[in-house]
């Protein structure tokens, strides 16, 4: 039932070596033979057993992608683009979603090593000792690495990010320009370097504009939208700023909902800025002013770099920093306009 290279060879009246040569398009051989073999492969619906070829050291044509959470639309969209471009280049994608758990991340590293992926894209902040140890093994195997949306490099690797710090800066600038002075920041796990940078940029903006900053202006929240609503809601009980900048759209949506639940109107009583420009920003009420990341471009660039590294067309590492963009919708207004 199962077709092997032997079946093809037998039917073509050649040796398996010849068949292997046409599979890999290597060696010399008469055009006639090659065509005949191709025809027979077609006819038999023959697909080479990739475990056998991987065992001999060939590429597996697969790349691993590790993201914190596929169900976050930002990563959902990113993954979709990565998959699209990887496919164009003839690679399959194996996705791991870590739920922000370092152990899961470490497990994925082991797993992807076992699956012998040809390269690895990471969109998580790899910091746990366990993860780094596992990643080290992958590095030892000379598997190319690329990091997306983070700019920390535990090992030499290609990087694609946006300028998160600038993103935080322009978001905050936008609020300051509107006239807000009392701005609060919502962020998540501080291990996410992208979040840290966004906050850093925000603080720089405050500083440049001569507005003071206190640690108490930061809400550190949990990751689920429900958890975030809770955390933000509690904060709002004690202090109601005129504007909030959240480090991603999920938090921004949570902010809007937490505010609404307490009778605080967005944007009249509270302006909100998000980050990522996901579908959530388009759809939420009010539509969210947010910082856009060029997701398609990011996906394309990272796949391009990784594939070049895999195929040996590129030996040095590079870093691509794309620009974030402010998308003004209706969740931000001047504080004068507030009730």
Residues of this chain that interact with a second copy (CB under 8 A) are 1-2, 45, 47-52, 54-55, 69-73, 76-77, 79-80, 83-84, 87, 92-97, 99, 104, 107, 110-111, 113-116, 137, 140-141, 225, 253, 256-257, 279-280, 282-287
Burial track 307-335 (b if 16+ CB lie within 10 A, e otherwise): bbbbeeebeebeeeeeebebbebebbbeb
Q: How far is the CB of 133 from a second copy (least distance, A)?
A: 9
Of residues 59 and 317, the one with the C-beta less far from a second copy: 59
Q: Which does 29 bind (CB under 5 to 8 A by kind): DNA, a second copy, none?
A: DNA
Of residues 141 and 177, the one with the C-beta less far from a second copy: 141
Q: How far is the CB of 44 from DNA (least distance, A)?
A: 11
- Rounded to the nearest angstrom, the gap between the alpha carbon of residue 127 and the centroid of all alpha carbons in its chain is 16
Q: Which does 196 bind (CB under 5 to 8 A by kind): a second copy, DNA, none?
A: none
Of residues 5 and 258, the one with the C-beta less far from DNA: 5
Answer yes or no: are the C-beta atoms of 253 and 266 closer than 8 Å.
no
DSSP letters along 154-172, please?
Answer: SSS-EEEEE-HHHHHHHHH
Of residues 104 and 181, the one with the C-beta less far from a second copy: 104
Q: Which does 218 bind (CB under 5 to 8 A by kind): DNA, a second copy, none?
A: none
261-to-26, 241, 265, 333, 337 alpha-carbon distances in Å: 67, 16, 9, 20, 21
Q: How far is the CB of 291 from DNA (least distance, A)?
A: 47
Of residues 20 and 92, the one with the C-beta less far from a second copy: 92
| Nearest residue to 65 (alpha-carbon basis) of 97, 28, 101 | 97
Q: Which residues bind DNA (CB under 7 A)?
A: 2, 4-6, 13-18, 20-21, 23-24, 26-30, 32-34, 48-49, 52-53, 55-58
Q: How far is the CB of 117 from a second copy (least distance, A)?
A: 11
Q: How far is the CB of 325 from a second copy (least distance, A)?
A: 18
Answer yes or no: are the C-beta atoms of 140 and 109 closer than 8 Å.
no
Burial track 155-183 (b if 16+ CB lie within 10 A, e otherwise): eebbbbbbbbbbbbbbbbbbbbebebeeb
Pairing of strands 158-162, 243-246: unpaired
């Amino acid at each position: 039932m199962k077709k092997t290279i032997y079946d093809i060879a037998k039917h073509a009246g050649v040796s398996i070596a010849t068949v292997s040569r046409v599979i890999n398009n290597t060696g010399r051989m008469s055009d006639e033979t090659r065509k005949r073999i191709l025809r027979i492969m077609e006819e038999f619906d023959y697909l080479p057993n990739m475990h056998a070829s991987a065992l001999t050291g060939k590429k597996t044509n697969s790349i691993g992608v590790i993201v914190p959470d596929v169900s976050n639309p930002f990563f959902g969209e990113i993954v979709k683009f990565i998959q699209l471009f990887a496919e164009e280049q003839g690679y399959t994608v194996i996705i791991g979603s870590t739920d922000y758990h370092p152990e899961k991340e470490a497990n994925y590293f082991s797993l992807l090593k076992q699956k012998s992926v040809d390269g690895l894209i990471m969109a998580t902040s790899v910091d746990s000792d366990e993860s780094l140890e596992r990643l080290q093994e992958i590095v030892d195997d000379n598997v190319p690495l690329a990091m997306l949306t983070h700019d920390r490099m535990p090992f030499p690797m290609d990087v694609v990010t946006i300028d998160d710090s600038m993103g935080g800066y322009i978001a905050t600038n936008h609020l300051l320009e509107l006239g807000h002075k009392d701005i609060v920041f919502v962020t998540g796990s501080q291990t996410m370097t992208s979040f840290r940078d966004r906050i850093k940029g925000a603080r720089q903006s405050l500083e440049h504009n001569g507005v003071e900053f206190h640690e108490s202006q930061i809400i550190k929240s949990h990751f689920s939208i429900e958890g975030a609503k809770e955390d933000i809601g509690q904060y709002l009980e004690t202090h109601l700023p005129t504007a909030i900048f959240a480090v991603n759209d999920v938090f921004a949506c949570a902010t809007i909902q937490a505010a609404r639940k307490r009778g605080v109107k967005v944007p009249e009583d509270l302006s909100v800025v998000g980050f990522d420009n996901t579908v959530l920003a388009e759809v939420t009420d009010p539509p969210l002013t947010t910082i856009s990341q060029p997701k398609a471009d990011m996906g394309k660039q990272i796949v391009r770099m990784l594939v070049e590294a895999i195929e040996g067309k590129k030996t040095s590492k590079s870093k691509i920093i794309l620009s974030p963009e402010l998308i003004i919708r209706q969740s931000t207004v001047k504080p004068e306009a507030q009730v």
